[in-house]
Structures are given as C-alpha cells and as structure tokens.
Amino acid sequence: MAERDAYGEEQQDRERFVVRILLALVILAAILLALGWRLSGLQVGAHSHFTTLSENNRLRVEPIAPTRGVIRDRNGILLAGNRASYQLEITVEQAGNLDSLLSRLRGYLELSEADIERFHRGVRQRRPFQPVLLKAGLDDETVARIAVSRHELPGVEIEARPLRFYPLGSEFSHAVGYVGRINQQDLRRVDGRAYAGTSHIGKSGVERYYEELLHGRPGYRQVEVNAQGRVIRELSVTPPQPGTDLTLTLDVNLQQAAYRALAGRDGAIVAIDPNNGEVLALVSAPGFDPEAFVHGISQADFAAVRDDKRRPLFNRALSGQYPPGSTVKPLVALAALDEDVTTAEREMFARGYYQLPGHERRYRDWRREGHGRVDMSRAIAVSSDVYFYDLAHTMGIDRMVPILGAFGIGQHTGIDSTGERAGILPSRDWKRATHNEVWFPGETLITAIGQGYMLSTPLQMADFTAALATRGVRYQPHLLRAMDNGTGEPEYPLPVTREPVVVDDQHWDAIHGSLVEAVHARHGTAWGSVGSTRPAYTIAGKTGTSQVFSLGEDEEYDEEELARRLWDHALFVGYAPAEDPQIAVAVLVEHGGSGGRVAAPVAREVMDAYLLEGSGMTLPEDE
Amino acid sequence: MISVTGREMSVSQWVLRSLRLDSVLLVLLSILLLLGLAVLFSASGQSVVAVERQLMRIGLGVAAMLLVAQVSLHGLRAISPWLFAAGILLLLAVMWVGDVGKGAQRWLDLGFMRFQPSEIMKLAVPMMVAWYLSLRSGRPRFRDLLVTGVLILVPVYLIMQQPDLGTSMLVAAAGALVVFLAGLGWRWFVGLGVVVAAAVPILWSQMLDYQRQRVLTLFNPESDPLGAGYHIIQSKIAIGSGGLYGKGWLNGTQSQLEFLPERSTDFIFAVYAEEFGFIGVALLLLLYFAIVARGLWIAALAQDRYARLLGGSISLTFAVYMVVNIGMVTGLLPVVGVPLPLVSYGGTSLVTLMVAFGILMSIASQKRLVNR
C-alpha cells in the first residue's frame, strides 16, 4: 500500500513536472520570439540607420595638403621655395609615458618652453593616432642621432615635410613677406576646410596677398580606420592641386644693390619701371629673418624683434608715412603752371624768408641767405622754399590739392601686398573733417614744400615720380609679373592703368628740365653728390628733407637716441635716363639728414645697378 | 578530478556505456561548438592561436562530458551534498586569499589552470537543491522553501561578495528553477513577486545618489556613450548593420576594425549577428531552443525526482544564459558579464556547461525502466 502510494506520488510528481516543463518551454518560446522581434527591429527595421553609423565608424576623409606655389624674381631666381624639413613628431598612443619620453628627448635636441607648450596643445587637439609635432627644422646630425636610437624612443617619428624657405633671407622679408603657422585668427579669413591639412599660411606681403593662389586646393583621401583610429587601408584619393607659382617683378640684383646702398642705415627704397608699373625693388631696412616665423618664433624672440627700436618688422616702404618734403615741389609747380598762376619763366628774388602780407611770422627758407633771383626751373633745382611759399600763397590750397591728388598723394596705390597706407593729402575739407578747424593761409605755404600735415609713403613717392617720368601716364604699381599653375603657359596679367595726369606738354618739358637741372647743374641740390660724379646717363631728380618735429608721446627720453631721432629724414626721388625713363626711384633714409648729400647717391647706386650692370655700360671714373 | 564513479569498470564496459550518449544532444552541441569556433576565428581578428586554445578547452570540456556521462545517477546524488560543501569552502577560501592578494578574488590558481570556485556552484547548487527536494515528496512546503532558500542564498551571497553579479544571478536562477520544477505553488511566486516589488522602492530610497546613478546607467547605457554605453552602442551598430543577410563571415567591419569591445567574449553574439544577419540569428535561436527542448525531453523521461529536477534545471539554466546574454547584447537587459553559452571565448564557463551536459547524458542513459 505504501509502495503504491509512493508510486502514485511519483506519478503525480512527474505529471506536475511535465506541466512545469511545458510551461517553461512556452515561456522560453515567447522570450525567443521577443528576442527575434527585437533583432528584426535592429537588423531589418533600423538597418539603414545602423549601416550609416557603422560607415561613420570606419570611414574617414583625410585632407592632403597641396604644395605651396614658389615665388621667383623676374629672372627666375627663387625668393620663396619649399624644401624638406625634418621634424620630430610623436604618436602619443605609442609613446607610453610622455613626460619621461620628453625628458629622454632632451638628450638629443633642445626643447624650448614654446615647443613643449605647442606640443601639449597639439596633443589635446589631435585625432587618435595622429602624430603631433614636437620640433621642426631638425639638423642632419640630430636626425641621425635620433634615427640610431629609435628603439629607445617609442612613438617618435622623424618626418620630412615641405617647409617654406627664403634663400635670400631678410633682404626680401618685406617685399615677399613670410608664412607662419595658422592660428585662430587666420582661420577666420579663410575657408577652414581648405586648410585642414595645411600647417602654414601667408602672414604678410606677397605671401599673404596671393595666399589663395599660392595655397592651391587640398586633395582628399578616404581611408578605412579601426577603432583606435589607425588607418587600415586607403579607399580612394583625390590628389591635391598644387599652388600657383608666382614670378614677381622684383629684380634680385637691384634689390640687393639697393640694400647695399643703404649701408646699414634705416630707410626704404622703391624702384618702379615707369613704363608698366612693375616694382623692381622694394626695400625696407632693417629687414628680419622670415624663416624664424616659419619655424615658429618663441615669445621672447618675437618680443625682442617687436620691441627693437629700429623696428625691423615695420615695412617702411608701404606702411611708413613721412612728410614728402621738397619732393612734392615739382608737383606743386605743375599745378601752378596748369592753373596759369605763373609761368616757367617768371622770376622772383628769393630771400631767406617769406612773410604773408600783414603777418609778422617769417617762414624760413632752408638756406638762411636765400637763393637770389630764381625762375621756376632754378627754384626746383636749388629747392627754394620761398619761391614755393610765394607760389602757394598766390595759388591757394584749393588749386593745389587736385593735382597732388591726381598724382596719388593721400590714396592707396593698390599695390598687391599688405600693409600699405594712404598717407595724407591735407585740404580744407580734410582739416574740417579730421580736426574740425578752418584752414590757415600759413598751412598752404608749408603744404607746398611737403611739410605740415602732408604724409606720403615711399611707394607713393616712387609712384608719382614714375608718373612724372611718363608725362602723366600712371600704371598701378604691382609685384606680380606672371602666374604659372602648371597647366600650361605662364599667364602674364596686363599692367593696370589709372587715371592719367593731363597737363600741357610744355609744362612737362619745363618740369623735366628743372629735375635734370637739380642733378646735373652746378647749383642743383644733387650736384655735389651725384651730378658732379658725371653719371653715364642723365638723371632727373628731386631731393627732399623731411622734418622730424617732435618725439611721439609714448617714446621714452634717451639723450643719445633723441639726438639722432631729431635728425631729418633724407629723401630723393628721380628717374633715369631722363630722355627715356627706364626706372623711377624713391629713397628714404631715416634721420639721414640732407636729401642731396645722403639720399641722392643711394638712388644713383640703384640706378647704376639697373641701367649699367649687364648692359655693357661702365661706371665712370670718379673725377 | 571528477573521476568519482563509485564503481569498478572494465574497459569493455566503459566503451559500452560511452556508446549510450544521447546522440541528438551530441549532434546539436557539436553544431553549436563548431559554429562558435568559426565565429571566434572572426571575432578574434582571425587568430589561429585563439581558436587553438578554444579547441583545447572544448577538448577538455568534451572529455569532462564523456566522463561525467558515465557517472551513475546514484553516484551523482551521493556526491551532491559533498560537492556543495566543498564549493562553499572554496568560496570562503577565495575570499580569504582574495583579501591577501586583491585583484584576483574570483580565481584559485591550481598550477596547471586557473579555476573559479563559483563555477562549481552553478552545478553544485541545483544538485544540492534537487538532492534535498528528492528526499521530500509532494509540492515544496514552507519549510522546504526556507531550507532551499538558505541553500541558494548562502552561495549567491558569497559570489556577490567577489563581486560577480552575473554568476551569482545565474546560480540563483539554477537553484530557483529546481524549486519551480518541483512544483512550488503559484501563491509562493506571487508572494515572492510582491516582496520584490515592495523592496524595490524601499531599497531605492536607501541608496545614495551615485549608486542610483549607477543603476540608472545600467538600465540606460546610452546616457553614457563613452563609458558604460559605448559597449552597447557599438554592439547595436554591429547587429543593426548586419541586416537580413549579414556582411559575410570575416567581413564585419564593427568587429574586424575593433569598434566592438569584448567581441570574443561577452559580445560575440554581435559579431555573429553582424556577419550572418537576421537569418543567421534566427537559425542560432532555433538551435539553442532545440538544445533546451532536448534537455527538457531527457529530464521528462528521467529515472527519478532527483534526475528530473536536475536535468530540467540544467536545461533551463542554459536557456537563461543564452537569453540574458542576447538580451544584454541587444540592449534589452543591463550589461552583466554573462557569456554566450558554448560560443564565447573562455574556459571555465565552457567546461562547466559541458559537465552539465555530461550530467544530462547520464540522465538520458538511465531512463526510468517502467513505461507509462
């Protein structure tokens, strides 16, 4: 009976068990159906969504930086090129302990605070497995020593990257400009996507003005990457389009000769071919080492250059605004002739000073004893201030301004470089607008001798001198001679003409004669330093002395410095040969003193270099 | 060593017995293991070494299964309490050793292999509970519930201390399933549900902010896309981008390019789903269902209550493993470290499962003699 009960119990238990098993199977089937439902939702329903995410994971588009166009002078001499520069890069993912690696690297090369700082910034901004620059511009020995010890320096790679170099250095620093590492400010003025793979950008000069041409268009490669960001394979490539090569109007020999002629003094020289506006030389001294900016200049070095009293970073030729002094006298004379205020022949007795009728104030001539009887030509040649005071008083400011404006005073020339300033052409309107004051008659007098409010850049002076040479035909000064984007023949843009200065031919003759007189006549202001040495060609020119009135408010008092700083700027503008002008030159020597004695010989050297060297003509012997 | 057979055998007897393996189960398991090797080859980045090591483990597992299959049910039942006691001692030992040498709290180093005592409990707990309930008759009563509760919760607590949430829950499930299969009354389940439901808000109110945050992240990994959420996001991308037909074996970009973490172990299902698509996934689910169903069939025909309960629990625990893993990989369940049974790379879990199937084989070869 008990056995039977046990059997029944067992039977019952088994039946209960089977019910439970069936229940479990049903539940399991339901769960599996739910899982299947979920999986079909992911794999069928949301398939395209997840496919997109999956592709985003594995595909990456990497930019390929284009090769920057090179810059040459008019004879094909390289001014700015690209060369392989060895730089040390670190792939952080493979480097292990960064601090220990950096301290080991100090045994191989010098690391400045700026290097380390830039490196850490790069580390924060990089993509995974993207090498970060530590130091650029390694020399061969360092490269060799690191290459030998590679196994001790995990993650360290030496990369050869094209880097800008300037074979002619500081002498072209202002003419060509320079490139530097792209910063946030730069990215605001360019399309950031085009610069994704580029490290440097034009910062000044031609390098900046023609940035778009020089840079080229980046290429792209689509790559497959793994989860760590390491490139597994390349899927497709769009090659970059290299930048356009530029040929400039500059002449290397002339530029170097101009630098030599300044002989270490601070100043600017601009030489223009008056027949087409080509800028043959563009000098601002002192220059600076443009490659320092390419490699990344340290804060301390930059501060040193920036605070240098000689201001090497300041482009005097384009940004420097100086009173043009007597160099504007030919323009004022032309205005007077054109307005029939006077004739070239009319003479006056030029004393040592001039007084406005009914005024006590004496406006002094630069020559205490005056110049005696002068006609217009002689007045220009001897640079009589009193003659021009008188002329200005008769003419008035309103009849003087238009022709000065027609020669470009107070306007940008529109040269294809950066930093150009317009200068100032003072007038009644100008004074009312800027100073809210009326114009005084005395201001007309000093305007006529290029002092007072009037300011002009050396480029403007060369520009109006070229217009004098061409009898009023004005070409826009420019630095670009040809572009070559590698797809065919180089392209030569046509010179751009501007509104000419229209004056009677006889007036031009009169002015030209006076300018030759200034150099080649015994009484001319440039006779002693230039005319008396019998140049092999005729020079037409005008000296000038630009007065330095006072110290700026923010400048510190320094006795020795002050003394030098109170010296006038020496100026000379001229063109040659006078009969068939090939070159127009403006020279400014800061605090140089007399224009005739100091600036004119500099211009002469520049003209010699252009007209004589390589042309078979020889320099005449000194008398 | 698991060579406690309790009986002397001649070689011919051993061969005869070994022929009485359950052929259906053997075939299904073989298919799953081979499929697993193929997926592992892909998931490991086509590492022959990984496949060889896994093959060695499978070899060890199959040997263990064959061996265990030979053990009589009488023997199994006899060692159940001893195995359970030994497991508890080993768990305590691990806690002790773990106190000294931090980090490696789950493992005991046996010299030739490392060994997780918590794995023993995956079998020892259901064996113990089945052993206890086989001494009793009829539906489990309140007293039985208390005893089995202690038998289950003590090892679960010890494993949680390691801490290994996944394993402790699986051990709890294995034990609880025995009680369920023994016919525990429905009111107990309802009561248990009420207790749990009441405990949740109380526990929640007792928790600190960072603990709550951790729990929330567990259930909503997307809120932490670079941390805990990264796994599940990449896993869903892998599965979803597989589509209906899959990207093809060895062609899954999510796994081959290493976007998918833990792709050889816990997340191997995502590799399979990416490369074989929904069709492959459906077939795999069917294969798992077939194995579970065969196991339950064997349990239904078992000789006695002990064998029945143990066989049923083993089969259903296997199903729980699979469901928890797939639920976790598809983002339905929180990420707890549960491998995909018999497919994921890793030794101990595979060997334990094979031993469990050895027990099922043993049950299969010793059906009850009386027909219904």
Q: What value does the mean pLDDT take over residues A121-148?
A: 83
Residue A146 lies in a domain: no
Please tell me the predicted confidence (pLDDT) of residue A4: 56
Residues 275-294 of B with CB under 8 A from A: 277-278, 281-282, 285, 288-289, 292-293
Query: Which two structure tokens, joined as six digits, stand for A623?
Result: 């008398």
- Measure the CA–CA gap between B193 and A35, rounded to whole angstroms: 24
CA distance B237 to chain A (A): 5
Residue A471 lies in a domain: yes
* Total domains in the fold of chain A: 1
Residue A353 lies in a domain: yes
In a 13 Å sphere around the CA of B227, the CA atoms on its Cβ side amount to 8
Tell me which DSSP letter residue A251 carries.
Answer: -
Instruction: Name A355's bridge partners.
Output: A362
CA distance A127 to chain B (A): 16
The answer to whether the Cα torsion of A42, A46, A47, A53 is positive or negative is: negative
Q: What is the pLDDT of residues A400-409, one digit of tens each?
A: 999 999 999 9
Q: What is the pLDDT of residues B93-150, one digit of tens each?
A: 887 765 444 444 556 665 545 567 888 899 999 999 999 999 988 888 889 989 999 9
Residues 176-235 of B with CB under 8 A from A: 180-183, 234
Name which of A24, A47, A232 is nearest B243 (Cβ-Cβ). A47
CA distance A4 to chain B (A): 14
Query: Which two structure tokens, joined as six digits, stand for B104?
Result: 């490696």
Check CB contact of A169 with chain B, cutoff 8 Å: no
The per-residue DSSP string of B133-200 comes to HHHS-SS--HHHHHHHHHHHHHHHHHHHTTT-HHHHHHHHHHHHHHHHHTT--HHHHHHHHHHHHHHH
Domain coverage including residue A269: 252-286+321-611
Q: What is the pLDDT of residues A90-112, one digit of tens each?
A: 888 778 888 888 888 888 888 88
Please tell me the predicted confidence (pLDDT) of residue A187: 83
Residue A374 lies in a domain: yes
Q: What value does the mean pLDDT take over residues A421-432?
A: 94
Check CB contact of A49 with chain B, cutoff 8 Å: yes
Highest mean pLDDT among A186-190, A217-221, B8-12: A217-221
Q: What is the pLDDT of residues A287-331, one digit of tens each?
A: 999 988 887 777 788 888 888 888 999 999 999 999 999 999 999
Please tell me the predicted confidence (pLDDT) of residue B372: 40
CB contact under 8 A, B240 and A47: yes
> What does the CA dihedral A420, A424, A425, A429 come to, rounded to 10 degrees?
120
> What are the phi and psi torsion angles at A221 (to 5°)?
-130, 135
Please tell me the predicted confidence (pLDDT) of residue B52: 92
Instruction: Name A220's bridge partners.
Output: A63, A238
Confidence of residue A122 (pLDDT cuts 50, 70, 90): confident
Q: Which residue has the tokens 């600017």?
A: A268
Residue A409 lies in a domain: yes
> What is the overall mean pLDDT for chain B?
85
Q: What is the pLDDT of residues B336-362, one digit of tens each?
A: 778 999 999 976 789 999 999 999 999
A1: burial class by Cβ within 10 Å (0-12, 13-18, 19+)?
A: exposed
Q: What is the pLDDT of residues A240-276, one digit of tens each?
A: 999 999 999 999 999 999 999 998 899 999 999 999 9
Name which of A20, A35, A46 is nearest B240 (Cβ-Cβ). A46
CB contact under 8 A, A53 and B241: yes
Q: What value does the mean pLDDT take over residues A24-39?
A: 95
Check CB contact of A502 with chain B, cutoff 8 Å: no
Give percent of chain A above pLDDT 90.
54
Residues 206-225 of A with CB under 8 A from B: 224-225
Q: How far is CA B360 from CA A92, A301, A343, B35, B64, in A?
A: 54, 82, 129, 22, 13
Q: What is the pLDDT of residues A11-24, one digit of tens each?
A: 888 888 999 999 99
* Chain A environment of B230 (Cβ under 8 Å): none
Residues 327-356 of B with CB under 8 A from A: 327, 330, 332
Confidence of residue A621 (pLDDT cuts 50, 70, 90): very low
Q: Catalytic residues of A, which ones?
A: 326
pLDDT at A335 over 50: yes
Please tell me the predicted confidence (pLDDT) of residue A562: 56
Please tell me the predicted confidence (pLDDT) of residue A574: 95
CB contact under 8 A, A226 and B257: yes
Q: What value does the mean pLDDT take over residues A531-547?
A: 90
Domain coordinates of chain B in residue numbers? 11-365
Residue A390 lies in a domain: yes
Query: Which two structure tokens, joined as six digits, stand for B270?
Result: 């995502």
Q: What is the pLDDT of residues B210-236, one digit of tens each?
A: 667 767 777 777 777 766 678 888 999
Please tell me the predicted confidence (pLDDT) of residue B1: 36
> What is the overall mean pLDDT for chain A?
87
* Chain B environment of A6 (Cβ under 8 Å): 137
Please tell me the predicted confidence (pLDDT) of residue A605: 93
Other Cβ atoms less than 10 A from the Cβ of A96: the count is 10
Check CB contact of A39 with chain B, cutoff 8 Å: yes
Check CB contact of A230 with chain B, cutoff 8 Å: no
Residue A16 lies in a domain: no
Residues 310-329 of B with CB under 8 A from A: 312, 316, 319, 323, 326-327
* Chain B environment of A50 (Cβ under 8 Å): 236-237, 239-241
Q: Which residue has the tokens 């440097």?
A: A200
B30 residue type, one letter: S
Contact between A471 and A505 (Cβ < 8 Å)? yes
Check CB contact of A20 with chain B, cutoff 8 Å: yes
Please tell me the predicted confidence (pLDDT) of residue A551: 40
Choose the weakest-confidence range: A374-383, A401-410, B15-24: B15-24
Confidence of residue B19 (pLDDT cuts 50, 70, 90): low
Check CB contact of A566 with chain B, cutoff 8 Å: no
pLDDT at B3 over 60: no
Q: How far is CA A327 from CA A323, A451, B165, B303, in A?
A: 9, 10, 94, 124
Tell me which DSSP letter residue B302 carries.
Answer: B
The model's pTM:
0.70
Give percent of chain A above pLDDT 70.
94
CB contact under 8 A, A228 and B289: no
Q: What value does the mean pLDDT take over residues A481-492?
A: 86
CATH number of the CATH domain containing A559: 3.40.710.10
The answer to whether the Cα torsion of A336, A339, A342, A345 is positive or negative is: positive
Please tell me the predicted confidence (pLDDT) of residue B275: 95
Which value, in Å, is the radius of gyration of the alpha carbons in chain B? Answer: 21
Residue A309 lies in a domain: no
Query: Which two structure tokens, joined as six digits, stand for B70?
Result: 């030979």
CA distance A194 to chain B (A): 29
CB contact under 8 A, B254 and A54: yes
Please tell me the predicted confidence (pLDDT) of residue B100: 42
pLDDT at B185 over 60: yes
pLDDT at A512 over 90: yes
Which of A15, A17, A37 has the highest number of chain B CBs within 10 A, making it the mutation to test binding with B?
A17
Q: In terms of CA atoms, which chain B residue is nearest residue A34?
A: B327
Contact between A514 and A374 (Cβ < 8 Å)? no
- Measure the CA–CA gap between A131 and B303, rounded to whole angstroms: 69
Q: What is the pLDDT of residues B140-177, one digit of tens each?
A: 888 998 999 999 999 998 888 777 777 888 899 999 99
Give percent of chain B above pLDDT 90.
49
Tell me which DSSP letter residue A621 carries.
Answer: P
Say what angle helices B11-18 and B48-69 make with each other, to 10 degrees.
Answer: 110
Check CB contact of A36 with chain B, cutoff 8 Å: yes
CB pairs under 8 A between A and B: 130
